[in-house]
Structure 1
Amino acid sequence: MTSLSAYAARVAQLALLASALGWSSAHAATVVDEWKKIKAPPAPKLGDVTVDPSTTALLLLDFNGAQNPDKGPCNTKVKPRCIAELPHVAKLMKEARDSGTPVVYSITSNAAPEDIATVLAPKDGDPIVKSGANKFINTDLEKILTDRHIKTVIVTGTASEGAVLNTAAYAALKGMDVVLPVDGMSSTDPYAEQYVTWHFANAPGVSARTKLTKIDSIKFGKAPG
């Protein structure tokens, strides 16, 4: 009985403490319970970025499907936002090529190189890897970048919460700097693009190595020599 009395007294003490601290059942609510109450934080600031073409690579991830929706995610049926971004990404690609910055592609498992959006078509010799959400997994992407002495990757593609998030985060965690143009990644819903942007602005391990920007704010410096 003594131990039961002590236990009851302890429970009573905890109840009084909870009351004093203003705790209530609301504090046990999950993020799903509170979903509608949560407001998005302020948007992160986007900056200007100048990259060194000799140590930078432009990654074009999963831009396949524009010509045939059955051949990839970048199509008018499921990701019209990707189609809308193609001219901007094409501009970035041209500037990268003009500066001598290497361009590296990925495609999804059901695609071939010819399924990449025509406006972003690869040239002979451009590396193309095929994988799931993380383009480093089960591919030679890391070796491709290492052999070219790449220290910075500009990451574009679709889906933002798939190929972009996983590949860019992996690159950052491996010690590379990441340039992420928010108008060069797309999803079916802008919320996905928003949370990926938040992730790279705030997440430990990746935010310190990431520069959030826009395509028009990326400049390619003059390569040494």
Structure 2
Amino acid sequence: MSTPALIVIDVQKAIDDPKWGRRGQPEMEARISELLAAWRERALPVIHVRHDSSDPSSPYRPGSDGNEFKPEVAPLPGEPVVDKRVHSAFIGTDLMDVLDELQVSNLVVAGVLLENSVEATVRMAGNLGFDVVIPEDAVASIDRTDKNGRHWPAEDVHALTLAILEGEYARTSTARAVIEALP
């Protein structure tokens, strides 16, 4: 793996709001913290993505407590923060400029929600030609109910989303394996 950039998506206090329902993958923040430590120790590029919702009722809206990064994965001074208003971190942001400046073609993408902003960003990254790895224990999903009323536990949403992304858009791994493969 050539020099990879770590992209941490939407890990803000808003994700703990009860409106989302039950979240799976309770170890996500700890695994992201381990990834961040490994990247920082090696002086590899880290990019944080912050969702700034335009919905006034969203816990992600700017100015709300939920808009703040969770402290255990917060950016350090000098680490770029990309502010987004839609699902993909590439749309309406300077993410591509940041990646071009860093001259990276490999991305490790972590954060929330796997089936929402992470997936949208990973699909776009794959379409743009980036080599993407998703550490499955550093992304999280929530319980979902489909239009027919069927309940899908977060663990099933997580597994299916990873299966859909595997191969065509990204490779899946674990945080530990990603760290062990770092230069």
Normalising by the smaller structure, the TM-score range is 0.7 to 0.9
1:197 matched to which residue of 2?
162
Identity %: 20
Secondary structure of the residue that 1:165 maps to in structure 2? helix
2:121 matched to which residue of 1?
167
The answer to whether the aligner puts 1:58 opposite 2:6 as a matched pair is yes
In the TM superposition, what is the alpha-carbon distance from 1:221 to its structure 2 partner? 3.6
State the alpha-carbon separation in 2 of the partners of residues 166 and 127 from structure 1. Answer: 20
The answer to whether the aligner puts 1:157 opposite 2:100 as a matched pair is no
The answer to whether the aligner puts 1:118 opposite 2:66 as a matched pair is no
In the TM superposition, what is the alpha-carbon distance from 1:125 to its structure 2 partner? 1.5
State the alpha-carbon separation in 1 of the partners of residues 27 and 62 from structure 2. Answer: 21
Would you identify which runs of 4 or more consecutive aligned residues in structure 1 move more than 6 Å? none
**Using a 3 Å threshold, how does the CA distance of structure 1 residues 127 and 199 change in structure 2: closer, same or farther?**
same
Secondary structure of the residue that 2:137 maps to in structure 1? coil
Q: Which amino acid aligns with 1:59?
A: I
In the TM superposition, what is the alpha-carbon distance from 1:107 to its structure 2 partner? 1.3
The two structures, once aligned, show a CA RMSD in angstroms of 2.0
Q: 2:137 aligns with which of 183, 208, 211?
A: 183
2:96 matched to which residue of 1?
142
Between Structure 1 and Structure 2, the one with more helix by share is: 1
TM-score by length of 1: 0.65
Q: Kindly report which structure 2 residues correspond to 1:21-60, keeping only aligned pairs within 5 A, or say none.
A: 51-52=1-2, 55-60=3-8
Render the CA deviation track for 1:32-82: whole Å, top value 9, x for unaligned: xxxxxxxxxxxxxxxxxxx33xx31100000001xxxxxx22x16335436
Q: In 1, are the aligned partners of 2:111 and 2:139 still within 8 Å (CA)?
A: yes
State the alpha-carbon separation in 1 of the partners of residues 74 and 25 from structure 2. Answer: 15
TM-score by length of 2: 0.79
Q: In 1, are the aligned partners of 2:25 and 2:137 still within 8 Å (CA)?
A: no
In the TM superposition, what is the alpha-carbon distance from 1:163 to its structure 2 partner? 1.1
Render the CA deviation track for 1:81-121: whole Å, top value 9, x for unaligned: 36531111101110011111111011111146971110111
Q: Which runs of 5+ in 1 are unaligned?
A: 1-50, 66-71
**Using a 3 Å threshold, how does the CA distance of structure 1 residues 221 and 182 change in structure 2: closer, same or farther?**
closer
Higher Rg: 1
Secondary structure of the residue that 1:183 maps to in structure 2? helix
